[in-house]
Structure 1
């Protein structure tokens, strides 16, 4: 007996009706009835029944069933077993002695019940084909990743409220969630009382009641199926799912409202891209799957999010055998973000990983290929590709909605209603208002609403934006809309009037960054519209700086400056751009000629105009720039110029800024008493004004003053207070935007802890400072932080590691021209070399550091450099006590000239030890005692502990 049935014979018998037991099968209409009532049966199970009844009494092999039922679809034999089991349940096979299908071991299956041919006129009228399609439930769901809590809470909500609508964008997983909920609640309602109705399978509103009638399985008579359905369900307890209602929203809404009112035992679960907006409905907006928030997540961090879990699960199903690595985790995270956490988009992308690999899929998506990727064949056509899914939604829109959606594709990320109206609006008064259409697109889940800080923003999903952008080109409006977009944001930022340094509230404007970039790119690409780009770059520079997007700020500032035609006279735009260029370049490229030239050009323009505040900001930047270069006297001159401007303006805030600039300049120039006076005067003036919040060249000026005060207190002999304040400013720097504040705080406050010997407290902050500076690409600060780590290693008794770390840090400091801190790093390097027995290198290093400091007039570092040189003289095989004593006394003298008792004590300690060894206890005691008596505090540092011990020993 041949194993494979004849397809021709099967086709010939499709037009007949058969009867077995209490069942009647309409092959052509694909309808199975039991006692005249439609039986809910899956599509594949019905295919199996038709094939088996065609060969009733014969054994049909599994391979033959696969060939006939799953034509052109690759599945395994397990699918046959699953659907045979489903078919047996639908037929009640084995119940009350009824047998229909038997399994012949090793061969296949056979239909064994007697069959009677029935003429078409004897068969009951069948439901229309469109309605029969609606009673097929979706394929058995795979485990839903990231939806467990939603399924649980919605199941409880559905039992309590009776009527729940799951709303969301196409492909987000509404049907999958609804199917999982029905599976969860089957035991609550009973298998026969859970009904799934796919309204996506029908296109006419008049067929909606009939679709539910067919799904419920009630035989009705009369012209109005809705009335009959309501009567039938009035006393029934059932769960009815209405899936994909958006294209039949009016008809579905009316019937759902009637069912809720007139059938109190019926629970309704609706899925749609917009809500039904009828009485009794409880709406749940299904959110996207969460993706990693880290820019560069590890594999573990990425796999903690449901979007990446889904991606990797589907990738494995598609033949990818590898595990997610730390190197690929950021790529997968970006793919998930690009799909906006839409389950269908993630699945379609992941399904290609087995073929292309993770990086290959990322390259595919870079060309917007996600719209064309084909998914599973056993789903509705509208869910097989993102293109088809979006076509489905787009075709439901009115002409006005389509045009506005296309125009909105010009926006990147978030945008406001005001922006939408300005860019997507029409001049014709007869056109519906943009606000109305935007609201309609939100209702249809084509636009998402994002509320931030009490403001409402809108955004298109990335895949929707790509789709709509193609439609915009079809309308031929791309260039016109881009011009509107650029002009709107140029006008917006002109009105905002953002100020350089006013960063306290800058974060509220961050949602505009994506559109700002888009407008700048378009403007500078269009020669005739570059003026828009210049204005926008100048007005938006404070936003880029405030968000610490330094590379972008530098790029747009340079491009705008190159686009300004050469012309005489003051240019406010040019001055703002020069300041932005100087700030961004200094923090990203170091102390380059580009920075100094930008500052000097900006100062010349500001002086021509006589504007006070721009000059003060630029002079503050010049002071900072010169300080970092190690030109301490020139930095003091810049601070004095700033003080003169403040004196002329008379503004209290200007005077405070000037006092703090003078304090910083005098401090690094070696005038500690005068520096402390200016610093405290600034804080006194500020007390009458309130906390001054202004950033100058990327730093909070008050924080800089607080750091300076902590350093001055240490130098003036109050280490306990200084260390406490140092820790406070480090914590404050971590809280203050932008990121440069924390780097500044750690770079200048950690040395106070190291000077005091408080290495345990310094260790944690040094490591955090290194990570912070590298994360934000602050190369100069990274070099400072590594130099501090080298000093810490030295204090911890690890001179070999200290020398290696310091050597790398010094090379980086030289590259970045950070000459301000180079003497300190070189001093530590010399000491580390001496402690490892490399005495000649140590002496050469400290001599070079001293020579460089003296040549640059860096008096601030002389006491510490001379002290270290003296201590090096005492090390090695041939100590020179006389030279060492002379150097240590010179160190004390320079420290006394600076009014820096902290430096004095550091040099006095090795001198006192030397004098004691030589039997000169009286001299040693006199030197230490004089310094001790001048200290404001006698605790808080390792130096004070040692000094107290020596004094006690000398007195005894």
Structure 2
């Protein structure tokens, strides 16, 4: 499902303490919204609308995954998540019954009442868009995509940010597909990746859309500007102009850094969740994690008959962990499963980015390897930003600003200047910023660190920085030891 094709006003479906606002794809328990993935919501809608009937597993799969080939285990994982979210059986109330050899049935009483629909969808002819075709489904993003679809028609300007290879374009494309019916004049996609920095952005946009500013002024449409990183300043100015000139236009941006303009809503695409070691008890449990789901689906596409076994779980988890839960990196690694096997793949994935350089030849160049994806960001950094990023690769784990100032500072990179550059790299999604208690720690994704170390390998500064890092660690451990002794004496 997840296609929003029903143009009739949907009712609010009520059962137990819950109200399911179907059009808004929202479940309330009293005034509290429940967190629930998009697939689980799709399954719930099918079951609730047929309450008291048995819905076969085949029917559910056909309704929820109409364009994908999935196995029954996917359905069981989402049913289990749905039951947990509803507290099924926890207080004596049961909602979803498993009917052996037949399917599932929603067994609680359901009532309905009409809900106000804040969005009025309109039928849009299929030619009212220029969206590129997706070759594969988007894995593990249902909740995020559902949230963006609900917000986009009312916020006008939204920017999707995130690290290289995290899937910003894939998320934006799926959001655009689902919003086609809400924009009377369609959804229009413009990729700015190959645009020269000096090129006039407005002229490029109007030429791509075969229109003029006056015509655009009256359109009720969604404009998607993909890969705005390298023309961020010009894009910010263009967006402000368009929003003022075209009051019915909505704009969706993908960029590794927010535009920083007024009225901008920013959403960061997170890394795909990876199971902890303690949760590797069963294949079903591991398949509840999006990183594992993506690896398995791409491995099956590459190697006919691939099946995830319990003994494979530690290896698959380690591959996904080494690759940071980045969708592009996981897809590139899984594409080598037929040549290397799972054991060989796990061994090779620790060797750097070489393994992640054999993607689809039909993909855009920056998506054919992880090195290309990172390089696309790296080459648009200033010389000082590049230098800081490479020097920071000396840290194997997270670091504080204090540690960075102690280890990598030099005459022209010190104090507030170095701090500002590090904070800027975090805004550009090349560093991850994580508040911990009263301080802030930064860390690099493994893929970014490997890229930086490859670039830094022949630098004259490498040996000196490694020695400075070792001395800093020694001082830190020594200070920690003294603190423990003082604490014990006191």
Report the 3-state secondary structure (helix = DSSP H, G, I; strand = E; otherwise coil) of the residue aligned with 1:476. Answer: coil
Any idea what the Cα deviations from partners look like across 1:757-812, whole Å, max 9, x if unmatched? Answer: xxxxxxxxxxxxxxxxxxxxxxxxxxxxxxxxxxxxxxxxxxxxxxxxxxxxxxxx
Aligned to 1:358: 342
Distance 1:448 1:275 in 2: 15
Aligned to 2:137: 143
Q: CA deviation at 1:242?
A: 0.4
Q: Is 1:286 matched with 2:279?
A: no
- Among 225, 233, 245, the residue aligned to 1:250: 233
Any idea what the Cα deviations from partners look like across 1:231-267, whole Å, max 9, x if unmatched? Answer: 3322221100000000111111110122223322111
Q: Is 1:297 matched with 2:280?
A: yes
Distance 1:328 1:371 in 2: 20
Distance 2:197 2:412 in 1: 34
Q: Is 1:235 matched with 2:229?
A: no
Report the 3-state secondary structure (helix = DSSP H, G, I; strand = E; otherwise coil) of the residue aligned with 1:239. Answer: strand
Distance 2:441 2:413 in 1: 25
Q: CA deviation at 1:399?
A: 1.1
Aligned to 2:441: 457
Q: CA deviation at 1:371?
A: 5.7
- Aligned pairs for 1:331-346 within 5 A: 331-346=315-330
Any idea what the Cα deviations from partners look like across 1:920-939, whole Å, max 9, x if unmatched? Answer: xxxxxxxxxxxxxxxxxxxx
Q: Is 1:399 matched with 2:392?
A: no
- Among 190, 194, 200, the residue aligned to 2:193: 200
Aligned to 1:486: 470
CA contact (8 A) 1:168 1:285 kept: yes
> What is the TM-score with the length of structure 1 in the denominator?
0.37
Report the 3-state secondary structure (helix = DSSP H, G, I; strand = E; otherwise coil) of the residue aligned with 2:252. Answer: strand
Name the structure where helix makes up a greater proportion of residues.
Answer: 1
Distance 1:444 1:296 in 2: 33
- Among 291, 296, 306, the residue aligned to 1:307: 291
Distance 1:428 1:272, change over 3 A: closer
Distance 1:502 1:272 in 2: 48
- Among 157, 165, 169, the residue aligned to 2:159: 165
Structure showing greater radius of gyration is 1
Q: CA deviation at 1:202?
A: 1.5
CA contact (8 A) 1:159 1:267 kept: yes
Q: CA deviation at 1:289?
A: 0.4
Report the 3-state secondary structure (helix = DSSP H, G, I; strand = E; otherwise coil) of the residue aligned with 2:193. Answer: helix
Aligned to 2:310: 326
Q: CA deviation at 1:89?
A: 7.0
Distance 2:135 2:146 in 1: 16
Distance 1:501 1:344, change over 3 A: farther
Distance 1:316 1:501, change over 3 A: farther
Distance 1:371 1:261 in 2: 47
Distance 1:451 1:393, change over 3 A: same
Of 137-146 and 153-162, the range deviating more from structure 2: 137-146
Q: CA deviation at 1:156?
A: 1.2
Distance 1:248 1:486 in 2: 39
CA contact (8 A) 1:424 1:434 kept: no
- Aligned pairs for 1:211-222 within 5 A: 211-218=204-211, 220=212
Distance 1:262 1:385, change over 3 A: same
Q: CA deviation at 1:320?
A: 4.4
CA contact (8 A) 1:141 1:176 kept: no
Q: CA deviation at 1:318?
A: 1.0
Distance 2:421 2:355 in 1: 25
Q: CA deviation at 1:420?
A: 1.1
Q: CA deviation at 1:376?
A: 1.6
Report the 3-state secondary structure (helix = DSSP H, G, I; strand = E; otherwise coil) of the residue aligned with 2:458. Answer: helix
Q: Is 1:499 matched with 2:489?
A: no
Distance 1:475 1:137, change over 3 A: farther
Any idea what the Cα deviations from partners look like across 1:591-620, whole Å, max 9, x if unmatched? Answer: xxxxxxxxxxxxxxxxxxxxxx6xxxxxxx
CA contact (8 A) 1:136 1:198 kept: no
- Aligned pairs for 1:869-880 within 5 A: none
> What is the TM-score with the length of structure 2 in the denominator?
0.70
- Aligned pairs for 1:577-588 within 5 A: none
Q: CA deviation at 1:460?
A: 0.4
- Among 410, 433, 440, the residue aligned to 1:426: 410
Aligned to 2:10: none
Gaps of 5+ in 2: 1-124
Q: Is 1:210 matched with 2:192?
A: no
Distance 1:331 1:154 in 2: 34
Any idea what the Cα deviations from partners look like across 1:849-869, whole Å, max 9, x if unmatched? Answer: xxxxxxxxxxxxxxxxxxxxx
- Aligned pairs for 1:902-913 within 5 A: none
CA contact (8 A) 2:164 2:256 kept: yes
Distance 1:256 1:474, change over 3 A: farther
Report the 3-state secondary structure (helix = DSSP H, G, I; strand = E; otherwise coil) of the residue aligned with 1:499. Answer: helix
Distance 1:468 1:258 in 2: 38
Q: Is 1:180 matched with 2:178?
A: no
Distance 1:300 1:354 in 2: 23
Q: CA deviation at 1:479?
A: 1.1
- Among 242, 254, 263, the residue aligned to 2:246: 263
Distance 1:390 1:213 in 2: 29
- Aligned pairs for 1:928-947 within 5 A: none
- Larger RCO (CA within 8 A; separation ≥ 6): 2
Report the 3-state secondary structure (helix = DSSP H, G, I; strand = E; otherwise coil) of the residue aligned with 2:160. Answer: strand
Distance 1:181 1:236 in 2: 19
Q: Number of aligned pairs? A: 364
Name the structure where strand makes up a greater proportion of residues.
Answer: 2
Q: CA deviation at 1:494?
A: 3.4
Any idea what the Cα deviations from partners look like across 1:174-211, whole Å, max 9, x if unmatched? Answer: 00000000100001114x52100100131234332123
Q: Is 1:468 matched with 2:452?
A: yes
Any idea what the Cα deviations from partners look like across 1:636-662, whole Å, max 9, x if unmatched? Answer: xxxxxxxxxxxxxxxxx8xxxxxxxxx
CA contact (8 A) 2:329 2:356 kept: no
Any idea what the Cα deviations from partners look like across 1:333-370, whole Å, max 9, x if unmatched? Answer: 11111111111001001111122111111111121145
Q: CA deviation at 1:300?
A: 2.7
Distance 1:273 1:396, change over 3 A: same
CA contact (8 A) 1:205 1:251 kept: no
Report the 3-state secondary structure (helix = DSSP H, G, I; strand = E; otherwise coil) of the residue aligned with 1:200. Answer: coil
CA contact (8 A) 1:234 1:264 kept: yes
Q: CA deviation at 1:429?
A: 6.9
Report the 3-state secondary structure (helix = DSSP H, G, I; strand = E; otherwise coil) of the residue aligned with 2:250. Answer: strand
Distance 2:454 2:236 in 1: 33
Distance 2:165 2:380 in 1: 16
